[in-house]
Amino acid sequence: WVMSKAKKEDADEDIAKYDGKWEVEEMKDTKLHGDMGLVLKSRAKHHAIAALFNRPFTFDNKPLFIQ
């Protein structure tokens, strides 16, 4: 995962950035020991992350589900 460098269009420079912080860690109130997830670490910020697929996804007859 990488943090996005995107910016919102038509917004003031100081609020246009996706500069929220996140970490991969176990959730505070998890019921599954060892279950990891993306945890937001900063309040009132825009968050955006991205990851590359290992190979291109072809939208022929299969839908793409991201959870």
66 located within any domain = no
Q: What is the DSSP string of the chain?
A: -EE---B-TTS-HHHHB----EEEEE-TT-SSTT-EEEEE-SSS----EE---SSPPP-SS------
1 located within any domain = yes
Instruction: Give residue-wise pLDDT tens across range 9-46.
Output: 877 777 777 788 888 888 888 778 888 888 888 888 87
Confidence grade of residue 55 (pLDDT, cut at 50, 70, 90):
confident
67 located within any domain = no
Give me the number of domains the chain comprises: 1
18 located within any domain = yes
pTM for the structure as a whole: 0.52
60 located within any domain = no
- Determine the structural domain holding residue 43 and report its residue range: 1-53
